[in-house]
Amino acid sequence: DTAVSQTPKYLVTQMGNDKSIKCEQNLGHDTMYWYKQDSKKFLKIMFSYNNKELIINETVPNRFSPKSPDKAHLNLHINSLELGDSAVYFCASSQTGTGRGYGYTFGSGTRLTVV
């Protein structure tokens, strides 16, 4: 069983469209994240949810809206897609209370291409 799974793996869409990426984790973690990786491989955190509550919201256009229906799922909806949104988006999860000694578990990524 995949610990953190994202769908779709690839997404090609036209400018102006609205799209969603889904993420599910079966690790029992209570915190989930979205990261964006640009073409130079730089990783930037976008959002974090803890038990369905938004706890990190970095400087991200409001066209990006995360939704967490339960602590095992964190979806990312993007409105009015732009060329600059093309990137690989990674979902990750972790468990609070386990201390700073624990990293995150990452999904395999969704490569979004806006044409």
* Residue placing its CB nearer to other proteins in the complex, 84 or 99: 99
Edge-to-edge strand list for the sheet holding 19-25 = 4-7, 19-25, 73-78, 64-70
Strand bridging mode 4-7 / 10-13: unpaired
**At its nearest, how many Å lie between other proteins and the CB of residue 15?**
25
101 binds other proteins, rule: CB under 8 A = yes
Residues 31-70 that bind other proteins (CB under 8 A): 31, 33, 40-43, 45, 48, 50, 55-56
* Residue placing its CB nearer to other proteins in the complex, 15 or 54: 54
Q: How many residues bind other proteins (CB under 8 A)?
A: 27
CA 83 to each of CA 10, 20, 28, 43, 112: distance values in angstroms, whole numbers, following the listed order: 16, 16, 35, 18, 10
Residues facing residue 102 across a β-bridge: none
83 binds other proteins, rule: CB under 8 A = no
How buried is residue 28: exposed, middle or buried, by Cβ count under 10 Å (0-12/13-18/19+)?
exposed
- State the residues that interact with other proteins by CB under 8 A: 4, 31, 33, 40-43, 45, 48, 50, 55-56, 90, 92, 94, 96, 99-109
